[in-house]
Structure 1
Amino acid sequence: MTAGNSQSRLDDENYPAYTMGRAAEILGATPAFLRALGEARLITPLRSEGGHRRYSRYQLKIAARARELVDRGTPVEAACRIVILEDQLEEAQRVNEEHRTATESRRTADA
């Protein structure tokens, strides 16, 4: 492995760098909480060659949002659904903004 390859993995928020234990520690949660998020299909950890769950920084960010909701009394399944809907809304807003910008650019070019 080259140093450049190693650095790119550190920069990649989707690289599955964290073990279940470390991910739970970072979140201040239990491994059971992470398994529940997986069962609710909020996050799907990759597996190491030995079959151990591995989580990315992006997955930890999503899990942290679910943890906030659960800490406020939201059931895990509902928290997962909320996070999924928030993500879908954010994506739809991004696409709409791109479409609006492209439409405005065409109007300016046609004027």
Structure 2
Amino acid sequence: MAPEGPEQQSVERKLEDDDYPAYSMGRAAEILGTTPGFLRSLDKAKLITPLRSPGGHRRYSRYQLRIAARARELIDAGTPVEAACRIIILEDQLEEAKRINAEMRARQQG
């Protein structure tokens, strides 16, 4: 087995990176069981902003796909797109605040 070189390490980091824009719009829609139009609507609502390839094509990360999947759940349950996006943003902010609070408590105790 050949030793890992810098290129192999870079590939592995990208594969493990939740924020790496690895999925085309078509593939992302297929994974989510939705349409490219649905993904465009989330971009328009500013819930997720995919990176663009040099050719201008949208590229999605695993993290963005999880957010889109959550939006899909809410919308399928009858929540309007704008409200679903706001709910997800607030959920994300709450989780971040909880993480910061836990870190602050740990520093105070330690």
TM-score under structure 1 normalisation?
Answer: 0.91
Q: 1:70 aligns with which of 68, 75, 79?
A: 75
Aligned structure 1 segments of 4 or more residues deviating by more than 6 angstroms: none
1:96 is aligned to 2:101: yes
**Count of residue pairs brought into register by the alignment:** 105
Which digits, 9 at most, give the CA deviation of each residue in 1:69-98, with x for residues without a partner? 011010111100000000000000111111
Q: Which residue of 2 aligns with 1:108?
A: none
Partner residue, 1:109: none
Pairwise CA distance, 1:25:
0.6
Ranges in structure 1 where 5+ consecutive residues have no aligned partner: 106-111
1:38 aligned onto 2:47: no
Where do 5+ consecutive residues of structure 2 fail to align?
1-5
**Does 2:84 align with 1:79?**
yes
1:55 and 2:64 correspond? no
TM-score (norm 2): 0.92
Specify the SS of the correspondent of 2:55. Answer: coil
